[in-house]
């Protein structure tokens, strides 16, 4: 498989260096990397000198590792959406079999590219698969990773699974690019660069939400970033994003535009463990199972949309909506045939349902003191 690898970077050379080192340590396999690209954002006007030095370090790290690589350095700060405009533009022009997109705050297993090649090769045979990732279910213990090393999970915000370190085949890119371009063009015209400015985000929030709903996808209250559009495209195209259950990526970005040290620990990312070896193969979904998963996701977002529209027009909500835990329970028990354990509940960010909370960090325990048990007022049709 012929791959292009695109790295999105801003001002964190300490993280980017770790990512590049882990890329250089990849085991050889049935893949060939054609081009390396660095999508490097420019300095924030509020800290030109500080950002400038760090950005120069990032460019130096990339060019020393990949002297024939391509550096796309913005002169000014264009934000996440500006960088991903460059990513999508390359996806549209790429002649590779597949493109892999990495952010600067990831550490890769030495098996990462081999696992991604396996996933992407299979994705070439299916019109029901969108993105693929070897990120895994972050926070899952090594015991559970070994038990479910062949398992694949739907990668969507409906199930609380981040879209990091993803790849896409050329045929899939042909379908996804126009939808992603539509979002990026609107965000640019609206003036939403997604650069971590809370005032800008708040002022653009309603317009971005309205745009997302109008094109036929129903998001949760805070989904206006580029990750939302990955789900939008999958929803509109009838595809499912898939990632491994085992972790072949370890997040290292404790601080960033969308993250803080407290959030990093609350998500249990500090306990992420890289799986030691790739499985011989994965438990691929049958088409009927893919359709079942698509139905689960559609049901979740359709319910959310009713609440969203009621809120917009100052009406009473018709019902509380599908609780995320209902969705996770349906996925595990009804689709996968797995019992939903306390461990599963915890790594899907529902610690209020876990009896033993002694292993949660201090901030999480404090949060639990004020949390209320989930009250199921709406009977989820796929819950077991």
| Least confident span in 34-38, 166-170, 234-238, 304-308 | 304-308
Q: For 65-78, write each residue's pLDDT tens digit.
A: 999 999 999 999 99
Report if residue 256 sits inside a domain: yes
Q: Tell me the pLDDT tens digit for each residue of 259-318.
A: 778 878 877 788 889 999 999 899 998 888 888 888 777 766 665 554 444 444 444 444
Structure tokens at 189: 């015209």
Total tally of structural domains belonging to the chain: 2
User: Which residue, of 285, 320, 355, is where some domain finishes?
Assistant: 285
Give yes or no for a contact between 304 and 378, defined as CB atoms under 8 angstroms apart: no
Tell me if 302 is assigned to some domain.
no
Residue that finishes a domain, picked among 285, 319, 341? 285
Based on the domain organization, do 321 and 187 belong to the same domain? no
Q: Is 206 exposed, middle or buried (0-12, 13-18, 19+ CB in 10 A)?
A: exposed
Instruction: Report the CATH number that the domain containing residue 88 is assigned in CATH.
Output: 3.90.550.10
The DSSP call for residue 333 is I
Q: In Å, how far are 62, 107, 161, 237 from 249, measured between CA atoms?
A: 19, 6, 13, 27
d(CA 11, CA 58): 7
Q: What domain range includes position 369?
A: 310-384
Instruction: Say whether both 45 and 174 belong to one domain.
Output: yes
Statement to judge: residues 327 and 179 lie in one domain: no
Cβ pair 238, 126 in contact under 8 A: no
């Amino acid at each position: 498989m012929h791959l292009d690898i695109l790295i999105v970077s801003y001002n964190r050379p300490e993280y980017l260096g770790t990512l590049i080192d882990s890329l250089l340590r990849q085991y050889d396999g049935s893949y060939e990397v054609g081009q390396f690209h660095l999508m490097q954002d420019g300095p924030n006007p509020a800290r030109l000198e500080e950002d400038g030095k760090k950005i120069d370090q990032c460019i130096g790290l990339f060019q020393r590792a990949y002297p024939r690589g391509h550096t796309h350095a913005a002169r000014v700060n264009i934000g996440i959406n500006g960088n991903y405009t460059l990513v999508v533009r390359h996806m549209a022009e790429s002649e590779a079999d597949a493109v892999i997109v990495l952010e600067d705050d990831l550490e890769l297993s030495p098996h990462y590219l081999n696992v991604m090649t396996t996933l992407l090769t299979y994705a070439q045979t299916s019109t029901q698969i969108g993105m693929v990732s070897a990120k895994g279910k972050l926070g899952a213990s090594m015991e559970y990773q070994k038990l479910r090393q062949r398992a694949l999970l739907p990668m969507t915000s409906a199930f609380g699974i981040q879209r990091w370190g993803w790849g896409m085949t050329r045929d899939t890119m042909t379908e996804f690019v126009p939808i992603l371009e539509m979002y990026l063009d609107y965000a640019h015209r609206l003036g939403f660069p997604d650069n971590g400015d809370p005032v800008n985000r708040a002022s653009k929030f309603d317009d971005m939400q309205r745009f997302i709903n109008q094109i036929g996808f129903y998001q949760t209250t805070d989904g206006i970033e580029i990750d939302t559009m990955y789900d939008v495209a999958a929803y509109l195209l009838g595809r499912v994003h898939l990632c491994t259950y085992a972790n072949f990526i370890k997040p290292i970005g404790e601080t960033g535009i969308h993250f803080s040290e407290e959030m990093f620990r609350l998500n249990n990312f500090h306990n992420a463990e890289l799986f030691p070896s790739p499985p011989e193969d994965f438990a691929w979904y049958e088409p009927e199972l893919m359709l079942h998963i698509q139905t689960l996701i559609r049901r979740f977002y359709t319910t959310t949309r009713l609440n969203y529209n009621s809120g917009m027009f100052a009406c009473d909500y018709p019902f509380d909506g599908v609780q995320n835990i209902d969705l996770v329970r349906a996925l595990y028990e009804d689709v996968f045939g797995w019992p939903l354990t306390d461990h599963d509940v915890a790594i899907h960010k529902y610690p209020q349902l876990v009896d033993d909370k002694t292993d949660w960090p201090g901030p999480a325990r404090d949060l639990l003191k004020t949390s209320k048990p989930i009250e199921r007022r709406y009977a989820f049709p796929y819950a077991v």
